Amino acid sequence: MLLKPLLYGALACLLLCCEKTESPAEIKTKFLSNISLKTPNQVLQKQMDSLKVSLLDIYNYCQKSQDSAYKNKVITCIYGKVDNYLQEEKPEYEQGILYDLNKFNAVLMNFKAPQHKTFLDVGSGNGEKLYASLCWGFTKSVGLEYSKKLVQISQNALQEFIQQKQIDIIHADALKIQPEIYQEIDVVYLFSPIKDNKIMAQLTEKILKNMKEGALLLEMRFGYHKELSKSMGLNFPKLTDIVLKKQQGKYYYASAQSLKINWTLLE
Ligand SMILES: C[S@@+](CC[C@H](N)C(=O)[O-])C[C@H]1O[C@@H](n2cnc3c(N)ncnc32)[C@H](O)[C@@H]1O
């Protein structure tokens, strides 16, 4: 007689134990796999906030996802929450205005080759492009930044990646730093950090002369082709943005916007 209720009780306990409650990690994974590209970024940011989705969660998502449109969307949303600081530290240097992340992602997707592992942002601002480049498959990203405040903001936001040695942020003047830094890098990126065209040409010349064989330089605001042509004795084209490649001591260029890459020798 007593056995029956006991059996029912045991069965109920078993069923309760088996009823699965989702862990926060599972909830986040489910959320990320159900994102709609139509959801406005602000709405998505709020949802990410309430689920405590972190930069590391999005980085991990990007390592697994093959879909560039989704990656682009989540990178843009998650880094949009990081502070910025818009004040010139030197009148001839630019403020920390960020280059459009969607355009940056498109250029990287187009030009990054599988052998490109290291990335350098010259004038890295709040660190947005350092983070995005890791999400797009670089294994090491280095930032050079003149503004102490922006170095602090970016180091603070990216501390987990700095601890893992995936990101390094150096407080330095790109014009004065030892040129060896440019020899280590596969893809150097610039959003013209200096207002003065002559000084900007000096910086680009320093990078081009020191970057390694096969390396790329992505320049998203190329307003100084005349000054650079004069100082390097080469015919740089008048383009708003440009990708430069060094191969066997020679330089080649393509428009950063070209969908089909067509390298032209600089002479
Ligand atoms: C226009 S912002 C670009 C920020 C970021 N790279 C991006 O593309 O979104 C230029 C950054 O370069 C930094 N900068 C300007 N001159 C510099 C120099 N000589 N050395 C290092 N950083 C510099 C500024 O402080 C600013 O943060």
Give me ligand 1 centre to Cα 18, in Å: 55
Same domain, 152 and 37: no
| pLDDT of the residue at 21 | 86
Q: Which two tokens stand for residue 130?
A: 């350092």
Atom of ligand 1 nearest to the CA of 190: 6
Same domain, 72 and 107: no
Q: For a substitution probing ligand 1, which of 108, 124, 198 has the most ligand atoms within 8 Å of its CB?
A: 124
- Name the residue among 244, 267, 15 with its Cα closest to residue 107: 244
d(Cα 256, Cα 240) in Å, to the nearest integer? 9
The answer to whether residue 66 sits within a structural domain is: yes
Give me ligand 1 centre to Cα 98, in Å: 9
Give me ligand 1 centre to Cα 63, in Å: 27
- Number of domains comprising the chain: 2
Same domain, 73 and 110: no
Atom of ligand 1 nearest to the CA of 123: 12
Give me ligand 1 centre to Cα 137, in Å: 23
Of 12, 47, 79, the last residue of a domain is: 79
Whether 126 contacts 84, CB under 8 Å: yes
CA distances from 146 to 90, 105, 107, 195, 211 (A): 9, 24, 25, 14, 20
The answer to whether residue 12 sits within a structural domain is: no
pLDDT in tens, 242-264: 999 999 999 999 999 988 999 99
Q: Which two tokens stand for residue 150?
A: 């922006």
Same domain, 252 and 198: yes
| Pairing mode of beta strands 140-145, 264-265 | unpaired
Give me ligand 1 centre to Cα 214, in Å: 24
The answer to whether residue 89 sits within a structural domain is: no
The answer to whether residue 113 sits within a structural domain is: yes
| pLDDT of the residue at 13 | 54
| pLDDT of the residue at 227 | 98
The answer to whether residue 88 sits within a structural domain is: no
Atom of ligand 1 nearest to the CA of 173: 20
The residue behind tokens 């942020």 is 169
| pLDDT of the residue at 238 | 97
- Domain of residue 57: give its range: 21-79
Same domain, 213 and 128: yes
Same domain, 221 and 181: yes
Same domain, 67 and 142: no
- Name the residue among 112, 34, 40 with its Cα closest to residue 76: 40
Residues flanking ligand 1, CB < 6 Å = 89, 93-94, 96-99, 121, 123-125, 128-129, 144-147, 150, 173-175, 191, 193-194
The answer to whether residue 95 sits within a structural domain is: no
| pLDDT of the residue at 90 | 86
| pLDDT of the residue at 100 | 95
| pLDDT of the residue at 83 | 92
pLDDT in tens, 111-157: 999 999 999 999 999 999 999 999 999 999 999 999 999 999 999 99
Of 47, 79, 111, the last residue of a domain is: 79
The answer to whether residue 41 sits within a structural domain is: yes
For position 105, which CATH number holds?
3.40.50.150
d(Cα 33, Cα 81) in Å, to the nearest integer? 21
| pLDDT of the residue at 5 | 62
Same domain, 204 and 247: yes
| pLDDT of the residue at 91 | 87
Same domain, 158 and 44: no
Same domain, 75 and 105: no
Same domain, 28 and 155: no
| pLDDT of the residue at 240 | 96
| pLDDT of the residue at 6 | 59
Residue ranges of the chain with per-residue pLDDT less than 70: 1-19
Same domain, 105 and 53: no
The answer to whether residue 16 sits within a structural domain is: no
Give me ligand 1 centre to Cα 160, in Å: 23
